[in-house]
């Protein structure tokens, strides 16, 4: 099989890679907490509440509230699914109006502009998934200063810029699930590369940091070749994955996709290179986007959670905050059909453990 192509065609889209070092270039300053190699539960020290608070507390307990959801971007399946979950929660509650609006590209400056505009228009609460945890903080603090409630989901901000963050799965849980799935496919001494959106996108940066820590502890003979950026762009993700295939040749055993765009694009690149069965693709993606590649046996494992549930939980958390049913120091919150969700890390609400989609179960899901 021929796995080399002319690289000049793709040179213009290839980003400077972040090479694996003692700690990869995109990691933040937080400590990693890799789970045990044998899968035994990790211990978590409870932290004090570290979120922010609105300057004034409106008295809207049980009353109708208006929320705006500003995700990283609109127009992709993942955030269409979170929007669906938000609408389901609002319909159940009966006293919540929620709509989604945001940039069509994962651009933090555009996201800030959207949020700022809705602060000016006046809403009761803002839901967000951050493109950059630091850059988004000032506008979220502005919202809090105006007495607007702020709850994040999917991708966090600095903690004091929002009240609560609904975490889809713990970062170390995602890290373990991803590395274990890849090791099962390429072996204990295989080599892999990563396609992510940007090095500073908060959830992906944390996942990769935890992947690195877990891999070093539990699969030390695996080799991390490099990590490349592809925004949340399908064409760029495909081109980046193709470049990795051509650049590393037979040294590349697997590609991780860190976004719901990068994973199917990487699978398509492997398919078009005729490398299914030779290069594993493991990643985070919605099941509908991955069904063709799972059906063709080009992809064995897709790691995710249910983004519909994530959006649903975010609205229930916001309603509980407004009603005074979720306060700093609480250890749990009720979230409708999801039951009781735990508070972790001071001001995070944990949705649950990651889910592995395979050929045996992926057709049971439609999002």
Domains present along the chain, CATH in parentheses: 8-30+170-304 (3.40.50.2300), 65-169+307-352 (3.40.50.2300)
- pLDDT for 150-177, tens place per residue? 999 999 999 999 999 999 988 899 999 9
Reply yes or no on whether the pLDDT at 228 is more than 90: yes
Query: Band of the pLDDT at 44, cuts 50, 70, 90?
Result: low
- pLDDT for 84-107, tens place per residue? 999 999 999 999 999 999 999 999
188 backbone φψ class: left, alpha, beta (φ>0; ψ -120 to 50): alpha
- Specify the range with the lowest mean pLDDT, choosing from 41-45, 172-176, 219-223, 271-275: 41-45
Please state, in angstroms and rounded to a whole number, the distance separating the CA atoms of residues 324 and 60.
9
Query: Band of the pLDDT at 181, cuts 50, 70, 90?
Result: very high
Give the per-residue pLDDT at 270. Answer: 98
Give the per-residue pLDDT at 169. Answer: 87
- pTM, rounded to two decimals: 0.78
Please state, in angstroms and rounded to a whole number, the distance separating the CA atoms of residues 54 and 352.
28
Please state, in angstroms and rounded to a whole number, the distance separating the CA atoms of residues 299 and 313.
29
Token pair of 196, please?
């992510």
Query: Band of the pLDDT at 27, cuts 50, 70, 90?
Result: low
When comparing pLDDT for 57 and 247, which is higher?
A: 247
- pLDDT for 291-318, tens place per residue? 999 999 999 999 998 899 999 999 999 9
Q: What is the mean pLDDT of residues 232-242?
A: 97
Give the per-residue pLDDT at 129. Answer: 98
How many CB atoms lie under 10 A from the CB of residue 14?
A: 17
Query: For all residues of the chain together, what is the average pLDDT?
Result: 91
């Amino acid at each position: 099989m021929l796995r080399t192509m002319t690289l000049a065609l793709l040179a213009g889209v290839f980003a400077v890679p972040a090479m694996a070092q003692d700690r990869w270039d995109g990691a933040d300053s937080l400590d990693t907490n890799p789970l045990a190699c044998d899968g035994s539960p990790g211990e978590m020290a409870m932290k004090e509440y570290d979120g922010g608070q609105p300057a004034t507390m409106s008295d809207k307990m049980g009353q109708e509230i208006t929320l705006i959801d500003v995700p990283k971007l609109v127009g992709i399946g993942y955030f269409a699914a979170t929007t669906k979950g938000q609408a389901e929660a609002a319909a159940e509650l009966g006293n919540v109006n929620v709509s989604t609006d945001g940039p069509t590209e994962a651009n933090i400056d555009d996201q800030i502009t959207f949020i700022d505009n809705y602060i000016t228009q006046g809403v009761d609460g803002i839901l967000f998934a951050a493109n950059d945890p630091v850059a988004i903080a000032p506008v979220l603090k502005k919202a809090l200063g105006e007495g607007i409630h702020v709850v994040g989901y999917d991708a966090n901000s600095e903690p004091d810029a929002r009240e609560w963050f609904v975490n889809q799965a713990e970062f170390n849980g995602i890290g373990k699930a991803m590395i274990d799935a890849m090791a099962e496919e390429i072996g204990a001494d295989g080599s892999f590369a990563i396609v992510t959106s940007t090095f500073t996108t908060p959830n992906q940066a944390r996942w990769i940091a935890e992947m690195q820590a877990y891999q070093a502890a539990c699969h030390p003979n695996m080799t991390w070749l490099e990590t490349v950026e592809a925004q949340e762009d399908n064409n760029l993700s495909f081109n980046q994955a193709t470049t990795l295939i051509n650049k590393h040749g037979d040294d590349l055993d697997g590609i991780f996709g860190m976004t719901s765009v990068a994973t199917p694009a990487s699978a398509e690149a492997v398919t078009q290179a005729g490398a299914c069965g030779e290069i594993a693709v493991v990643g985070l993606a919605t099941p509908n986007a991955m069904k063709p590649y799972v059906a063709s046996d080009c992809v064995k494992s897709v790691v995710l959670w249910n983004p519909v549930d994530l959006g649903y939980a975010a609205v229930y958390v916001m309603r509980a905050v407004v009603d005074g049913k979720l306060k700093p120091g609480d250890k749990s919150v009720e979230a409708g059909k999801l039951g009781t969700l735990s508070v972790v890390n001071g001001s995070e609400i944990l949705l649950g453990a990651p889910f592995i989609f395979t050929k045996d179960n992926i057709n049971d899901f439609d999002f």
